[in-house]
Structure 1
Amino acid sequence: MGNPRIPLFLFFCILFSRVFALSSARFSPPDNHLIACGTASASTLDDRRVFLPDSAALLRSSGSKISVLAVPDASPASSPLSRTARVFTRPSSYEFQIKQKGTHIIRLHFYPFSSRDFNLSSALFHVSASGFVLLTDFGTSFPQLKEYLVWVDAEKLVISFAPARRSSFAFVNAIEVVSAPGDLIGDTARLVNPDRIEKFDGFSRQAMETLYRLNVGGPKVTPFNDTLWRTWVPDAGFRNSDSVSKTVAFSGRIMYREGAASREVAPDNVYNTARAVDGANVSDSNSNMTWVFAVRSGYKYLIRMHFCDIASRALYELYFNVYVNGYLAYEDFDLSMATGFLASPYYVDFVAGVDSLEQLLSVSIGPSKQSNHLWINGLLNGLEIMKINNTMGSLDGESPIILVLESPARRGFGAFLSSIVCGLGFMSLLMIGFVLLLKWRAETRNTVTWLPLPTDVSGGKSANGNPVVSSKLVYF
């Protein structure tokens, strides 16, 4: 008989090698700055990330560097990051050394608690980073996490805060600056116009703000289960139709392919659930799944749609159309042709603007001409909506960065100085005009007084007595 311990030994070796492979494959960003602001000690989150005090970052300020602590029972959230903050009464900035140039994820944590000296809910301020305006006249009375994707091609990233008014202040509770994986943001997308689809180039160099991130057909995904520490919320609150959809769950292995969507693009928990159009329930009245989002006009938006066929019984049984804002964005989409496998992730990036009156962005999935009522007629696993910076390099308003970052005190003095200069100039013009008027009147009087008399005079009378006298679907 052979040694019975050998199979057990081999089992543990195989198990260890798999665990090691999984751990080594987990994304390790070259730049990973996690800063807890206003505290003197490190903070550990539930997802096991450790945030260091902001003394670990280079903080520059033209005023006092004020650290504030929430009064007892005033912290609005359970996160350890919600208990302290850094307050700025003058323009200030954090500088982060960058090891690897490229797209970086910036997350700003705001927990507006009350302290002994400050009520953070009354703050009003601007924020910029890497030449882009992130926030203008920003203030909040509830906890917010703002996430941005910004291209960094310098050796340092500067995140600046400036009070919006002379009497106001800025604050921040925590900052994340993390290198994004190389495959997270591509350089091209499909630009959806009312009459045509175009290629959108130079996409990776834009700045973007994450607005919505949905796990379609599935539960909430927390940062603990995402390699990039993102949160994916259920899609229930955004659906505009559910007559033809059904949820699908998958317990098998998601097949990530080299050169295709990775776990950093979206985690397993997003790809192993989906919402699908059941061909048996399709009718001519309304056969589309539709999601609607409130957005601002004046910007273009990235719509990233995540697909993974976990519902079909075989390849080449899934065909569907994609609509953005009611316009046909992708006709007869064949997911099998794109991946070559079932349960293999794939995503498509679309770019579109919104109507200035509606300020709504809609995304729909529906049957195509190649669909069969015996098959699944449409499927979606995940959906992300991101705002793209405008022509001013801003994600929040039309102000250029030089105005956003200018000190309110300097703006006040400059306005005062300008008013003085303008006032003096106006008074000078008035004086010059007055002098010219006096001179003109004097010359006029002189002309009348010294006018030569006529040489031909008869009977005491003058000899000359002349007097001087922008195919759309509508969803209900």
Structure 2
Amino acid sequence: MATTKIFFSTFSLYVSVISLLSIASAFSPVDHYLVNCGSHSAATSDLDHRVFTGDASRYLTSTLTIQLESTDSQLTSPSPFYSSARAFDHPAHYTFPIRDRGTHHLVRLHFHPFRNNYNDLLQAEFHVVANGFLLLRYFRIPVTDNFPVIKEFVIPVASEELKIAFVPSGRSKFGFVNAIEVISAPEDLIADVAQLVGFEKNERVNGLLKNGFETVHRVNVGGFKVTPFNDSLWRTWVTDDDYLVSSDGSKEIHFGGRIMYQMGGASREVGPDNVYNTARVIKSSDDSIPNGNLTWLFRVEKGYSYMVRMHFCDIASVASGMLYFNVYVNGNLAYENLDLSYMTNRLLASPFYADFLVDGDSSGNLVVSVGPSNMSLPRAVDAILNGVEIWKLNNSMGSFDGAVCADFVWRSWRRGHAGVLLPLVAAVFLLLSVSVFLQWRRSGAVAWSPLPVDVSETDLKSGNRF
């Protein structure tokens, strides 16, 4: 498919220029806020040794909140900041000064319910708004043992402040949060261009940077779980075992050499070494080429567009120019005869990624596959995949959670409290009216008294004489 190959040639050149800049020095975010919510003191993460500062004197700009501490001596959590939380029964605001304006920022929200003297945190339900984006609506922690729950977003921030608001819903009337991260995203994390893949379309799309993104899936294919300690952006990559639906004739491979980050590829902030040094491959062992694909299935929410990022790094071939394969998204051919040698200047173990834009269909499934092409060679690697990321794009209303905008949350909050506020105002007005009336009666009784019956008319005309 010549058109697709021309696009990816241009795309790889675009990515390579940015990648060189990021390779030159270690990533150091301009804005970097780590907040331990509901605590005066700092807490160090057990996973990556980062220090989260207390929120009592900084960032929190609301006073109607409650500090919670766990009363559960058996609580097991990966970090000490999960044993405290900030709870609220009114809207609570966190405000972060932004120096790196006009760029995207990572926003991570941490939730871990625990026993406390305030309320059952599993019953909390609330909304979250950030600079006009509706991040979460009627959010409730799932009743599972899979804690903590971390919600990650990448949103553009053009203003001098990033304001994150937590608004309790009318049903539970309270919410909570354990920790917040706000981090400047690397310039090459999100590209402005992707390949739109559909049943009748396969074309280049520009303008992605005007959108926000919610991380839905992040998978290390063929390898172990990657923890934040081993990722320069402190991400978690889960294994692909729960998503792999077709793996006939494939195998996992692990590479012990050096990953060659270079022009045409990706930086360590795009994907860490521990993602690119493992993979699943299809490999022919004789003169015949396998007739099958490697396929992964991911659950997504219908009604949204998704960006699928597929990570590739040829750590399996014995020489360059021997690996050709096809890439499919939702059963549609996304890239034909992908030649990683062409994308990486004929250098093995050099990472490359491709972004595909798709719409979530009514099935709620998003399927990605790799498999041999008509250019695949016998006795060689015939397909490879190292990692997959799936992001949800916000809809036209700036929402990641429903066909409503952020203003809906504030209007709902005001309506929900109007029923309480108006009777309260009426009651206060009534009490004031009664108080004024009684005071008037009391003052009037002192000023008026009946005339004595023994006072003559002459005395009345001449007035009192004392």
TM > 0.5 between the two? yes
Task: Report the AA paired with residue 105 of structure 2.
Answer: H
Do residues 80 (structure 1) and 80 (structure 2) align? yes
Q: Does residue 1:394 correspond to 2:395, yes or no?
A: no
CA distance in 2, matches of 1:284, 1:333: 16
AA at the equivalent of 2:277: N
Q: 1:128 Cα deviation (Å)?
A: 1.2
SS at match of 1:135: strand
Q: Between the two proteins, what is the percent identity of the paired residues?
A: 49
| Total equivalences in the alignment | 394
Distance (whole Å) between structure 2 residues aligned to residue 282 and residue 145 of structure 1: 48
Contact 2:311–2:354 (Cα < 8 Å) also in 1: yes
Q: Which moved more, 1:217-226 or 1:198-207?
A: 198-207
Q: How far does residue 406 in structure 1 lie from its aligned partner after superposition?
A: 3.4
Specify the SS of the correspondent of 1:361: strand
The match for 1:315 is 320
The question of 1:194 aligning with 2:199 is answered yes
Any residues of structure 2 matched to 1:68-467 within 5 Å, and which?
68-73=68-73, 75=75, 77-101=77-101, 102-140=103-141, 141=143, 142-165=147-170, 167-258=172-263, 260-280=265-285, 287-340=292-345, 341-356=347-362, 358-406=363-411, 408-413=413-418
Letter in 2 for 1:64: L
Deviation, structure 1 residue 408: 2.5
Instruction: Tell me the SS of whatever aligns to 1:402.
Output: helix
Mean alpha-carbon deviation: is it higher for 391-400 or for 158-167?
A: 158-167
State which structure, 1 or 2, has the greater radius of gyration over its C-alpha atoms.
1
The offset of 1:381, in angstroms, is 0.7
2:56 alignment counterpart: 55
Query: Which amino acid is the alignment partner of residue 281 of structure 2?
Result: A
Structure-2 change in CA distance of 1:371 and 1:134 (3 Å): same
What is the identity, as a one-letter code, of the residue corresponding to 2:403? E
Map of 2:456 onto structure 1: none
Q: Secondary structure at the match of 1:159?
A: strand
Aligned-pair RMSD on alpha carbons? Answer: 2.2
1:24–1:379: structure 2 CA closer, same or farther, 3 Å change rule? closer
Secondary structure of 1:405's aligned partner: helix
Amino acid at match of 2:183: V
Structure 1 residue 306 displacement after superposition? 0.5
Deviations 1:171-200 (A, max 9, x none): 100000001111111000001110121222
Question: Does structure 2 conserve the Cα–Cα contact (< 8 Å) formed by 1:76 and 1:113?
Answer: no
In structure 1, the residue matched to 2:41 is 41
1:274-328 Cα offsets, whole Å, 9 max, x none, are: 1111123898885100000011100011110001111111111011100000010
Match of 1:7 in 2: none
Alpha-carbon distance in 2 for matches of 1:167, 1:293: 31
Matched AA of 1:224: F
**Counterparts of 1:148 and 1:31 in 2: how far apart (Å)?**
15
Structure 1 distance, partners of 2:292, 2:43, is 49
Asked if 2 retains the 8 angstrom alpha-carbon contact of 1:93 and 1:160, the reply is yes
Question: Hey, what's the Cα distance between the residues in 1 that align with 2:312 and 2:154?
Answer: 22
- Confirm or deny: 8 A CA contact 1:160 1:405 kept in the other structure: no
TM-superposed deviation, 1:109: 0.2
Gaps of 5+ in 2: 1-21, 423-466
C-alpha distance in 1 between matches for 2:23 and 2:321: 35
The 1:336/1:284 distance shift into structure 2, 3 A limit, reads: closer
Call closer, same or farther: CA 1:342–1:408 in 2, change over 3 Å: same
Distance between the aligned counterparts of 1:371 and 1:225, measured in 2?
Answer: 34
Distance 2:150 2:250 in 1: 31
Distance in 2, Cα, partners of 1:326 & 1:122: 40
**Which position in structure 2 is the counterpart of 1:16?**
none
Report the Cα offset of residue 24 of structure 1.
9.1
What residue number does 1:31 align with? 31
Q: Distance in 1 between matches of 2:317 and 2:23?
A: 31
Supply the distance in 1 between the matched residues of 2:42 and 2:161 (Cα, whole angstroms).
Answer: 23
Q: Bigger CA drift: 197-206 or 41-50?
A: 197-206
Question: Which deviations, in whole Å up to 9, do the C-alpha atoms of 1:41-76 show, x marking residues without a partner?
Answer: 100012110000013533233x61211111132635
Contact 1:213–1:232 (CA under 8 A) maintained in structure 2 = yes
Shift of 1:355: 2.0
Contact 2:86 2:177 in 1 (8 A): yes
Change (3 A) 1:415 1:331: farther
- Aligned mates of 1:322, 1:402 — CA distance in 2: 41
Q: Is the 8 A contact 2:202 2:334 kept in 1?
A: yes
Partners in 1 of 2:416 and 2:265 — Cα distance? 50
After superposition, the Cα gap between the structure-2 partners of 1:30 and 1:281, relative to the gap in structure 1 and judged at 3 Å, is farther
Structure 2 match to 1:443 = none
Write out per-residue CA displacement over residues 386-438 of structure 1, whole angstroms, 9 at most, x where no aligned residue.
Answer: 11111111111111110123363544427998xxxxxxxxxxxxxxxxxxxxx
